[in-house]
Structure 1
Amino acid sequence: MFGPRVPTVTVPEIADDVYLLDVREDDEWLAGHAPGAHHLPMMELPTRLAEVPGDREVAVICRSGGRSAQVVTYLLRNGWETVHNVEGGMGEWAAAGRPMVDGDGQPGRVL
């Protein structure tokens, strides 16, 4: 479906200095996201591509890993070299007990 194997990273493997790119929709982001993540809905990526740094590691996350895998493929085809799909997405993030906040800075949930 995505062509060549999409590079992945597990939630525990994500270092604190990785650029975490959340490609979910606004309502999903507002319900709960990783503190410090950068929000860029998947459908806006082509017009906002310059916002994604090309000089550092990028981990792309969505709810379960499907949309983020598509974004990783797109970034790789457009010159990004160090980009990974977060295996299991925000569902796995929550299951691992990693912090989440909602749009008001309160404890978040996966939508």
Structure 2
Amino acid sequence: MIDQVRPTDLDAWLAAQGGRGVVLDVREAPELRAASIPPQPGFELVAIPMNEIPARLGELDAGKPVACLCHHGARSQRVGMFLAGNGFEHVANIAGGIDAWSRERDPSVPLY
């Protein structure tokens, strides 16, 4: 299994993995337009739709911690498991997705 990290605990998880990592948003373009998290100093934000991950795996650094994000956490969980199975050692699912991000960490992020 991969780590399950609540949005409020993401910074601590990244620090425990050695520092700056990646939040991998695996939602589709219309979802990104509806709501996205703003860039933050603790991580790089990368958006690759779930179905494109296998073909674009080379765009990700397996040496960096990766926390996967979707709407509620199901797609990001599957992507996280895929990454873990492909040599990524420090992978987490952002439990509750961007919905939880808005409710728990940043209410300026719209709910949809």
Q: TM-score, normalised by structure 2?
A: 0.81
Q: What secondary structure is seen at the aligned counterpart in 2 of 1:27? A: helix
Q: Label 1:110 to 1:48 Cα distance change in 2 as closer, same or farther (>3 A).
A: farther
Note if 1:89 corresponds to 2:90: no
Q: What secondary structure is seen at the aligned counterpart in 1 of 2:64? A: coil
Whole-angstrom distance in 1 between the partners of 2:63 and 2:107: 26
Is the 1:34–1:99 contact (alpha carbons within 8 Å) kept by the matching residues of 2?
no
Pairs within 5 Å for 1:17-56: 17-36=20-39, 37-56=45-64
Decide which structure has greater helix share: 2
Unpaired runs of 5+ residues, structure 2, are 15-19, 40-44
Is the 2:22–2:66 contact (alpha carbons within 8 Å) kept by the matching residues of 1?
yes
Whole-angstrom distance in 2 between the partners of 1:46 and 1:110: 28
Is the 1:18–1:56 contact (alpha carbons within 8 Å) kept by the matching residues of 2?
yes
AA matched with 2:7: V
Q: 2:7 aligns with which of 7, 11, 21?
A: 11
Decide which structure has greater strand share: 2
Q: How far is the alpha carbon of 1:110 from its aligned partner?
A: 3.5
Q: Label 1:109 to 1:10 Cα distance change in 2 as closer, same or farther (>3 A).
A: same
Query: Does 27-36 or 41-50 show the bigger shift?
Result: 27-36
Q: TM-score, normalised by structure 1?
A: 0.81
AA matched with 1:49: L
- 1:103 counterpart residue number: none
Q: What secondary structure is seen at the aligned counterpart in 1 of 2:110? A: coil
Identity %, equivalent residues: 33
Is the 1:62–1:68 contact (alpha carbons within 8 Å) kept by the matching residues of 2?
yes
